[in-house]
Amino acid sequence: MSDPSARYPSLDARVVFVTGGGSGIGAALVRAFHRQGARVAFVDIDDASSRRLCRELDQESGRAPLYRHCDIRDIPALLAVLDEVHEALGPVGTLVNNAANDERHDWRELSVDDWDERMSVNLRPMFFAIQAVAERMAAAGGGSIINFGSISVQNAIGNLSAYVTAKAAVHGLTRSLARDLGTRNIRVNTVVPGCILTSRQLERWIGPEDEARIQEHQCLKVRLLPEHVAPTVLFLAADDSAQLTGAAIPVDGGWG
């Protein structure tokens, strides 16, 4: 299949690890990196979608990404997969912390367990995945870590207080670790998607009237789809962005 994305020679054979890579934005990222010639591994909890994606890419290119079922709330399981990826493919050169859960919630009804569960999905795995790959990444000469934020922080979207808090913390995590890891030639950046019309968003939250309202706020009157996020992530992963770290890059059509 032809791919309109720019070609980045530095991503050829690069080991790339993506969390939540089975559907939505994550699947678009897995496709994009795979078509760059990268050696892609990803985790998800949706086995059916993930295996379908692996079959698609295997039929397209004769090689499949490495997929492992993993609930990223289980940090030991996530670290075990990262060890397996290192043994099978080599040191991770690009880590993409994409997985998240933006389940709506009323702040008045949120329990301590609910709060902790949302942090365990939207924030905690990012730090421990970075901690797990950073030394090996540095020993291999450096690399790129890409965390996913959310436009919900800038736009103060309601009914998402725990999620927005976690995503605001992602910006702090990126800034702090960009400083800590810069001396090791590791770049850390945040991608901030706008309203990306994934299947989940369309099924759960966004109807035609919502789409129209969102486009009123966007400078660009376009439907933002998962494949529109991938080119920015490819650029941040590639050596072409070698001087860029600690940044938050919006992909929002000019809404933020």
Query: What is the rounded CA–CA span in Å between residue 50 and residue 20?
Result: 9
For residues 137 and 89, what is the distance between their CA atoms, to the nearest angstrom?
A: 13
Q: How many CB atoms lie within 10 A of CB 158?
A: 11
Distance CA 77, CA 95 (A): 17
Q: Is residue 195 classed as helix, strand or coil in its secondary structure?
A: coil
Q: Which two three-digit tokens encode residue 122? A: 């939207």
Beta bridge partner(s), residue 250:
192
Cβ atoms 44, 23 nearer than 8 A: yes
- Catalytic residue from among 154, 163, 181, 237: 163
Distance in angstroms (rounded) separating the CA atoms of residues 120 and 133: 19
Q: Is 163 known to be catalytic?
A: yes
- Distance from C-alpha of 256 to C-alpha of 246, rounded to nearest angstrom: 18
Catalytic residues: 163
